[in-house]
Amino acid sequence: MKHIKTTITAILAAALVSGCAVVDVTKTAAGFHAPTNPNTVQILKTLPDRKYIELGTITVTGFAANATAKMHNAVRTKSAALGADAAILTEEGVLDGGWAMEKWATGVAIKFQ
């Protein structure tokens, strides 16, 4: 019985360390755009001055509160698959996830015209 408790504790600890970070980018635009290089996708906090089309919505959950760069890189990667030039993060925050503080965000993936 003690071995089972130890195993369960180890599994739970591993899950907490690895986290349940999720970036969901849902395509909302018609048509197809060739994927872009994730390294060139901009992360924006305000609307750009240039004209653009929205390619999809972005929902981010489960990142550690201090993992902003990791979250941005994941957003870049998922947005690039749709052909995005940038991702506009319209809302961000931190929630008490029970075991740790978790970062969340919402926004849109865009392509400049």
What tens digit of pLDDT does each residue of 51-90 get? 999 999 999 999 998 999 999 999 999 999 999 999 999 9
Q: Is residue 2 in some structural domain?
A: no
Dihedral angle, C-alpha 52, 79, 44, 20, nearest 10 °: 150
pLDDT at 94 over 90: yes
Share of the chain above pLDDT 70, in %: 83
**Residue 110 pLDDT > 90, yes or no?**
yes
In this structure, what CATH number is given to the domain that contains residue 30? 3.30.110.70
105 within some domain: yes
Q: Give the helix/strand (H/E) hosting 80.
A: helix 68-81
